[in-house]
A = this chain, B = another copy of it.
Amino acid sequence: MLPERLNKVIHLLARLPGVGEKTAQRFALFLATEAGDVANHLGAELTTLLDHIRPCDRCGNLADYDGTAAICDVCRDTRRDSNLLCIVARVQDLLAVERSGAMRGRYFVLGKLLSPLDGIGPEELPLERMINRIREDKVTEVIVATPPSVDGEATALLVARELEPTGIAISRIASGVPHGGDLEFADQITLGRAIDGRKAIDG
C-alpha cells in the first residue's frame, strides 16, 4: 500500500526501543507528509553522527570525536573530584546519576552487565581499563551504581572482587522503597532490601 522507500524507513524506525510497526508507520508518515524539514535534517545528522561521536577514551561516556581523541565533558571538567569514581552500566545510567546532582566525581561506563544467561562473562567487561583508570587517577573511593537486578548485583560483586587487592573504599548504591513510594505497593524483594539496608536514625 505504501511506497517501498517509505516501508524501508518504517522498518528501520521500528528498531528503535519501544517502537512497534504501527508507531513506526506514524513516524514515517509524519516525516513524509508533514515534516519534510525534519526528515532532511535528521537524515543529514544521522548519516554523519557516528563519524563525530565516540565513547570517551577515558570513561566510555559519549564524547565529540575530533579525529584523534574523544574526551567527554565530565572528564574535561576540572572542578570534579578525580579521586571519586562512579561505575555505571550504560551512558543512560550516567545521565540519570548526573541528574540527581549527588555525584561530584567522575564515571566509568562498563557498557554491559555480567549476564551468564546471555553468555556475557567477566572477560567481556572492560575490567582492565577500569583498573588502569583507577590507578592513573589515584581514585580513593568507588561507588558501584549498576542497577539492583540479578545481573547488576553480579556485576557489582565482580567489580568489588577485582578491586579488593587495591584496598580502595568500595560502596554500592542503596536499594529500597523509592522516594514517594507506597510500602503497600512495593514488591517483597524491594521491601526486604529496604529493611536489610536500614540506617540508624540520628536523634
Interface, chain A (partner B; CB < 8 A)? 1-6, 8-9, 12-13, 15-19, 23, 25-27, 29-33, 35-36, 38-50, 52-53, 55, 62-64, 72-74, 90-92, 95, 98
- Name the prevailing secondary structure of the A interface residues: helix
**Between-chain CB contacts (< 8 Å), 26 pairs:** A1-B73, A1-B95, A2-B62, A3-B62, A3-B63, A5-B48, A9-B42, A9-B46, A16-B30, A17-B27, A29-B92, A32-B49, A32-B50, A32-B62, A33-B90, A39-B46, A39-B49, A40-B46, A40-B47, A43-B43, A43-B44, A43-B45, A43-B46, A43-B47, A44-B47, A47-B47
Q: How far is the CA of A37 from the CA of B23 in the complex (A)?
A: 20
Closest B residue, CB atoms, query A52: B5
